[in-house]
Structure formats: C-alpha cells, structure tokens
Amino acid sequence: MGRTKTSKLLARKRPRLLPVIDSVVRATLGHRNGRTDFYETLQQTLAADDEALHNRLLEIRQRSGVGDDISVLRCFDILVWMSGARPETTRRAIEDAGSNLRD
C-alpha cells in the first residue's frame, strides 16, 4: 500500500491519534515528499506555545457545532485539506465566519 492509503487506514482506525496525510495536506503544509517526520512535526506543533494550535482547533470544532465525537486531528485534516484543495472556497468561508469566530 502507498503512503496515502496507509495514512487513511490508520486515521480511520485511530482518528484521535493519527491524521490523514495526502498530497494536498503535504503541499498545504509545505512538507516535502521524502520527509519522514510528519507525525513528529505535527505533535510538536500541537504542543508548542502551551498547546495554542490544539486549543484553537478545539475552539473551531466547538463553534462549528461539530460534536466531541469528531477528533481535533480530524478537524485539522478537514481545515488543512479544504485550505489546500479549495483555497477560494475556504477563504470565503473564513471571511463569512470571521465575525462569528471573533465574538
């Protein structure tokens, strides 16, 4: 199996532990092919600055009305993938939601 299929299978089995890694996610995050430290880098980023990114993802999940059954990493997957695959749609959604997220 390839890298993307493997990450999708792992993310499906352990959604609170591992995110999906595909070409869109890698490109959006600037994580070159051939690098093997994606999970380590993500873990460090989520823990950095007193877990600022993790806490922001929790806030986005709560404000979006998504239940706690959806993991923070799944929210991360969705946000990164949408940002990379549909940047114009994502930009517009962020602008539309901006006032709600700032409240």
Q: How many Å from the N-terminal Cα to the C-terminal Cα in the chain? A: 45
- At residue 103, the pLDDT reads 44
pLDDT at 58 over 70: yes
- At residue 49, the pLDDT reads 92
| Across 14-41, average pLDDT | 84
pLDDT at 98 over 70: no
| Across 77-95, average pLDDT | 77
The pLDDT tens digits for 33-56 are 777 888 888 888 888 999 998 998
Q: Residue 67 corresponds to which tokens in the numbers above?
A: 């239940």
Nearest to 29 by CA among 96, 85, 71: 85
Q: Residue 99 corresponds to which tokens in the numbers above?
A: 């006032």
